[in-house]
Amino acid sequence: MIKTVINPEFEHLRKELSSIPETIAVCGTKIFQGRNRIYRATIGGIDLTVKEFRVPSLANRIAYTFFRKGKARRSYDNAMTLGKLGIGTPEPIAYIEERAGGLLRRSYYVCRYWEGDVVGGWEHKMSDSGAMLESLARFTLTLHQKGVYHKDFSQGNILYRRDKDGGFEFVLVDINRMQFGVHDTARLYRNFRSINIQSEHETVRFAEAYARVAGLDEEKMRTVAVEMLQQYMKEKALHHRLKKLIGK
């Protein structure tokens, strides 16, 4: 059984979108392979990104069927909410859920393809990384002011490109893990912990830029950012050790 939910603006493509589970591996171009697969494809003259989520564990198949939304549906719903808030994310087009034995199996999130690059490695990519950091800090502040908490706020999940005036435009991707209506600064500041795990120096630069655009104390934000980063790295190290202990 396949369930397809389509953005009303793209209802005319229902037949083509509904066939994605059977056709995407052949008709699309794979642009990422990891736990999940990401394809680029053209349907009805529209350049699309299709994210195919891996088959969940049995426990999660049960959970996503009966107790909580699956990842593709959450991605679609979150994208619609971000759009209403005026926050950049590739335009949502559809989500597709495939069930077997009554349980969620494969799922797909479809959005308009957005030409850009990940913000990762900003210190090496451009001579004006300071200007980019300032713009990224403003984008992050806007998220926080609107109560948006992205639980995977990392370099790989923020895309950017230059706008026509030479400035920077940002969008959020990998948006299935988000919360809205969050105004607890201690929670929102957790975004500092994974913005650049390769460099404490660059995390500090970002925190300083955030403090400037938000009118906050730079020294305080430096301290917060470093504490968040160090805590995150400790958690990652512990997680890695636990995985080794249980043989995964």
pLDDT tier at 247, thresholds 50, 70, 90: low
Is 248's pLDDT higher than 70? no
Q: Quick one: average pLDDT of 142-150?
A: 98
pTM of the shown model? 0.92
Q: Which two tokens stand for residue 102?
A: 């009554």
Q: Which two tokens stand for residue 82?
A: 């971000």
Q: Where in the chain is the domain with CATH 1.10.510?
A: 117-241
Is 236's pLDDT higher than 90? no
Q: Tell me if 123 sits within 8 A of 67, measured CB to CB.
A: no
Q: What is the model's pLDDT at position 246? A: 67
CATH topology of domain 2-112: Phosphorylase Kinase; domain 1 (3.30.200)
Q: Where in the chain is the domain with CATH 3.30.200.20?
A: 2-112
Q: Any idea how long the chain is?
A: 248
Residues 6+ apart with CB under 8 A from 45: none
Better pLDDT: 108 or 194: 108
CATH of domain 117-241: 1.10.510
According to the per-residue pLDDT averaged within each range, which of 24-28, 122-126, 143-147, 191-195 is highest?
143-147
Q: Quick one: average pLDDT of 140-153?
A: 97
